[in-house]
Amino acid sequence: MKKLCLPLFLLWLTAGLQAQNMLPVVPAPSSAVVQNGKFVLKNNTPVVVKGDQAAVKVAEMLAAKLAVPTGGSYPVKKTAVTGNSIQLQLLTNADTALGSEGYKLVVTPAQITITANQPAGLFYGTQTLLQLLPAAIESKKEVKNISWTIPCATITDKPRFGWRGLMFDVTRHFFTKQEVKQFIDDMVKYKFNMLHLHLTDDQGWRIEIKSLPELTKVGAWRQDRKGKWGNTPAPDSTEPKTYGGFYTHDDIRELVQYAADRFVAIMPEIDVPGHSMAAIATYPELATVPGTYHVNISDKFLVWGSGGSFYAISDNTLNPANEKVYSFLDKVFTEVAQLFPFPYIHMGGDETAKNLWEKSDDIKGLMQREKLKDVHEVQSYFVKRVEKIIESKGKKMMGWDEILEGGLAPNAAVMSWRSMKGGAEAAAQKHPVVMSPAQFAYLDYYQGESTVEPPVYAALRLNKTYQFDPLPAGVDPKYILGGQGNLWTEQLNNFRSVQYMLWPRAMAIAESTWSPKEKKNWDNFVGRVEQQFVRLDSSRTRYARSIYDPIIRTKTDGKDNLTLILEKEVADMDIHYSLNESVPDNYYPVYTKPFVLDKDVMTVRIVTYRNGVQVGKQIIMPLAELKKRAEK
């Protein structure tokens, strides 16, 4: 039944979108006009390109992408062709309305034409074109007995922001070079152009530094653990260190080129002075507190309190008072700057536990010498010195918003993660800002009903992510570079789990950074996302269907009466439930309004359906969990 009903629903959905003059494209184009007719892609349709070698490469990538699922051959031609063809054209007279990344896509029954000022625009035009083809175009093998048609339309499109990023933490768990390439392939479908690689942290050092070879001999490896993150005692020093890995210089060059071919820049992050246990496990003399250290395997070294407060029980910070630290960082940033062409290097600066600094004689001496009034100014002193090192390599420095504390370094850019406030403050000081606030953009947070999602300390549903606007009211737009989603991987130890957390929430980040603000519409976005689900199925990309799981709340009247409250993220579905321990389906009662649970209810079982098809997970809620939610 599901296999029969779902395609019918999707046909209805597509028809509905087109009736609204909206194509099922994510992110939503600036302007799209649907017209009558369709273009039929033949198995030998030529791709005709007019432009430089970068434009030719775009044509070649499009031809290669079309070839596998269709079984066709799409010759790339540099000379004029009439009739059935795909035309990619760099404009000789620039269209100022398109900018450097915009494009115009015109589909007629006879021909497809993509025009742009720059090759990047042609590339983004091809990504839109691919989304207009049937979902099977995403298949990694030939799909037969299908008509490869594209609806006629005229699309004029350009991005709202120049910085459209995703951060990939390859430190907490190591991901191979091929997996990073797959990450890039996945993100460019939605017109992201920035990959922020988090390369160092307490759990590993992931980049070769030839002048400091011990960093990867020691810092890139730790004892293996298979279970729950954070449920790990300190390792036995005799255990073999078999888990980890790192990228060689050649690996980095290959990734940088692979990304550049797809118009993605890679920004490296070396996270200091905190988050440095892998570095001080290698060179313990760089720590603030003398001792013996190991690469963290998720054993506890920080204690977290309310409101994000924390303190260290074991040191994971570089010592700002030790000149050897700056010599060490000079060597690191020298090689990092040579490997990454992008103008910025990210130096972290977040979550530095300062309680051990307060007790350090070295730090007290530094404060006296430099007339620093508190440990926040100590961090500012460190950040300003790091900025000078990075600038000496011909690069600019970016850091998390904690670098504002104690005084912002003169030329620093700020990536604002704790809220939009830090970014607004930096912009008011006329510093460049990338907005990536946790409440909208932390893609490692669980995204649906917590009892059936990976266990994380906070929630972020798709609807909330979609509310992200990188430009808050009252902030000068010229200082806002754009926005970014961040994917930390403490809980993500394989690439399938990475994909599950990214999609579809990263689509919401893509639309918030690319599409005009006035084009954003939640109900329409949901319809387009559901079309993307079919494409993700075709490409065998994992994703979360958590939008179909209800939001489950309870309240109590203080007399042991428990009221069940169920809410929906997607409006047009039904919530069915059982109270008698049986497994509900679409013939069970439909939830319509809050009600008080009978005293003999031990478990509430919940599932969602749409048009007779199950769309959500079976959720089992014991009475104890429901009572706990009422207490909160």
pTM, rounded to two decimals: 0.95
CA angle 56, 62, 67 (to 5 degrees): 125
Q: What is the mean pLDDT of the chain?
A: 94
At 167, which amino acid appears? M
* Token pair for 593: 């309004």
The pLDDT of residue 570 is 94
The pLDDT of residue 7 is 47
pLDDT digits (tens, 9 = 90+) for 592-628: 999 999 999 999 999 999 999 999 999 999 999 999 9
Does the pLDDT value for residue 544 go beyond 90?
Answer: yes
Give the start-end residues of each E strand in 125-212: 149-157, 163-169, 194-198, 200-201, 204-205
| Residues with a known catalytic role | 351
The pLDDT of residue 241 is 95
At residue 15 the predicted structure's pLDDT band, cuts being 50, 70 and 90, is very low
The residue with tokens 């030329």 is 411
pLDDT digits (tens, 9 = 90+) for 300-325: 989 988 878 889 999 999 999 999 99
The pLDDT of residue 28 is 97
pLDDT digits (tens, 9 = 90+) for 56-84: 999 999 999 999 999 999 999 999 888 99
Does the pLDDT value for residue 21 go beyond 60?
Answer: no
At residue 107, φ and ψ (nearest 5 deg) are -115, 120
The pLDDT of residue 632 is 77
Q: Which residues contact 412 (CB under 8 A, 6 or more apart)?
A: 383, 387, 397, 398, 399, 403, 431
Q: 385-411 as b/e, with b when 16 or more CB fall inside 10 Å? A: ebbebbbeeebebbbbbbbbbbebbee
At residue 233 the predicted structure's pLDDT band, cuts being 50, 70 and 90, is confident
Question: Which has the higher per-residue pLDDT, 158 or 307?
Answer: 158
The pLDDT of residue 631 is 83
The pLDDT of residue 87 is 97
pLDDT digits (tens, 9 = 90+) for 30-58: 999 999 999 999 999 999 999 999 999 99
Query: How far lies 342's CA from each of 201, 312, 503, in Å?
Result: 21, 34, 26
Does the pLDDT value for residue 560 go beyond 90?
Answer: no
Q: Which residues contact 332 (CB under 8 A, 6 or more apart)?
A: 209, 212, 270
Which of helix, strand or coil describes residue 620?
A: strand
The pLDDT of residue 444 is 97
Of 422, 442, 440, the C-alpha closest to 431 is 422
At residue 153 the predicted structure's pLDDT band, cuts being 50, 70 and 90, is very high
Q: Please answer whether residues 46 and 16 qualify as being in contact, where contact means their C-beta atoms are separated by less than 8 angstroms.
A: no
pLDDT digits (tens, 9 = 90+) for 402-440: 999 999 999 999 999 999 999 999 999 999 999 999 999
The pLDDT of residue 48 is 97
Name the β-bridge partners of 396.
Answer: 344
Which of helix, strand or coil describes residue 449?
A: coil
* DSSP character string of 305-350: -GGG-EEESS---B-TT-HHHHHHHHHHHHHHHHH--SSEEEEE--
Domains and CATH numbers, the chain: 2-157 (3.30.379.10), 163-515 (3.20.20.80), 549-631 (2.60.40)
The Cα 231–Cα 73 span in angstroms is 53
The Cα 491–Cα 497 span in angstroms is 9
Mean pLDDT of 124-152: 97
The pLDDT of residue 455 is 86
At residue 3 the predicted structure's pLDDT band, cuts being 50, 70 and 90, is very low
pLDDT digits (tens, 9 = 90+) for 443-491: 999 999 999 998 898 999 999 999 999 999 999 999 999 999 999 999 9
The pLDDT of residue 234 is 87
Does the pLDDT value for residue 12 go beyond 70?
Answer: no
The Cα 11–Cα 397 span in angstroms is 49
The Cα 590–Cα 192 span in angstroms is 40
Name the β-bridge partners of 268.
Answer: 197
Of 458, 347, 360, 367, the C-alpha closest to 409 is 347
